[in-house]
Amino acid sequence: MNTKSNLQPSGFFLIRAHSYVFLAGVLVGLLVLTFCLPPASALEFSGQYTNLLFETRDSQKQDRTTDLNRLRLEVDGDYGHVRFHLAYDHELLWGGLVADPVLAAALRQPEPTWLDASATIIRRTHFNWRHDLYRGWVEYEAGQVRFKLGRQRIAWGSGRIWNPTDRFNPVQPTALEPDQKLGVDAGRIEWNYAGNGSLMAVAAPAQASSRTSRKLALRWQDTFGEFDVALMAGRINNENMFGVDVTGNLGDAGVRLEWMQARNPLEGSYGQLSAGIDYTWHQAWFPNGLYMALEYFYNGAAGSPRLNQDRLNSRSNHLLGSMLGYDLTPLWRIDLLLIADLQQSGWFISPSLTWSADENVDISVFAQLPQGGGNSEFAVFEPLYAVRADWYF
């Protein structure tokens, strides 16, 4: 079915008009930042171009090749006590998977953010061009207190594979781009009362049209000997939650523990926990050091019919993950992610090889190889093979 034929002319031009208005607003903002700030302020422009070519099966079990292109433009400003950051994306997705009805429906859904700062410029059967505001915040610092307002990353949790205490930007470890974390439109105030001690409060409003939940949370953290300890409490939508995050060193190994307990009217009380250890092994076979990590994840809400975008979701209660990484040379690195479903018998393997082709260019080849049937964690996954190139400027 041709996507273009399904668009009424007025709706199509309305989409484009909305896009152009947003684009014009971003350009005007960049001009204001560039020419209207006092000369003493420091502006730094940077960016990143990503090309991700991948092959997988669509919902009809047909092999499809798809190409993702993303141009990200960033500007950072520093003027005394005031700092700001803006990251603006253009994303072009084309290929066979764009025509799949499942992906097409997902592309039509608004991003789960309070501010509608994304729009589709052109949509066709095998082509989708959109742009959005990836980050946009301003921060004011006065002594030991910092206040940040806007679209930002709230990075809570110390786990290497799973972060159950991250209720603002949860990311599944099986995501195609786990490094791309959707920001949250929020106000954040942080008081650094000691060298490593801080108290943070975060408030994010709700938006029914984009299925965005209201989020209110407090987080305290400090250091005791070799361990960093954090406690947090909050209300996410209609759910009360409490969490603990502990990370530190035992000898030459790093240890991590995250626990989150929550309660809501529909599911009652449930908990999520991740516990892990990581270590870099140096010996004759691995002179550059073999990085090894092992992490266990328990999900008390596994198998819930209600997928919650504000937490980690899984089909199984018990998962075990491991990571290996080794620098073959200063320019070549190999990594491996392995996740085992301890309850339903299944595997997820993702090997990758990365080449630093230039000072500002990285090229990686990776795969996602799921195995499992029935109710396994990975029964609905399809094998995926990809090449990714990143150019930083």
pLDDT tens digits, residue range 243-256? 999 999 999 999 99
Q: What is the CA radius of gyration of the chain?
A: 22
Average pLDDT over all residues of the chain = 90
Nearest to 61 by CA among 389, 382, 387: 382
Looking at residue 92, its pLDDT comes to 98
Distance in angstroms between the alpha carbons of the first and the last residue of the chain: 39
Cβ atoms of 270 and 262 within 8 Å: the answer is yes
What is the average pLDDT across 324-336? 98
How far is the C-alpha of 346 from the C-alpha of 378, rounded, in Å?
6
Looking at residue 239, its pLDDT comes to 95
pLDDT tens digits, residue range 91-120? 999 999 999 999 989 898 888 899 999 999
How far is the C-alpha of 215 from the C-alpha of 200, rounded, in Å?
14
How far is the C-alpha of 238 from the C-alpha of 193, rounded, in Å?
31
How far is the C-alpha of 312 from the C-alpha of 243, rounded, in Å?
14
CB proximity list for 10: less than 8 A, separation 6 or greater: none
How far is the C-alpha of 326 from the C-alpha of 204, rounded, in Å?
39
Looking at residue 3, its pLDDT comes to 38
Residue with tokens 């781009």: 177
Looking at residue 4, its pLDDT comes to 37
pLDDT tens digits, residue range 195-214? 899 999 999 999 988 889 99
Q: How confident is the model at residue 8 (pLDDT cuts 50, 70, 90)?
A: very low
pLDDT tens digits, residue range 40-77? 468 999 999 999 999 999 999 999 999 999 999 999 99
- Alpha-carbon distances of 44 from 36, 76, 134, 290, rounded to whole Å: 15, 5, 17, 36
pLDDT tens digits, residue range 184-198? 999 999 999 998 999
pLDDT tens digits, residue range 148-174? 999 999 999 999 999 999 999 999 999
Cβ atoms of 50 and 68 within 8 Å: the answer is yes
pLDDT tens digits, residue range 15-41? 445 445 555 655 566 566 556 656 546
Looking at residue 210, its pLDDT comes to 87
Looking at residue 228, its pLDDT comes to 97
Q: How confident is the model at residue 14 (pLDDT cuts 50, 70, 90)?
A: very low
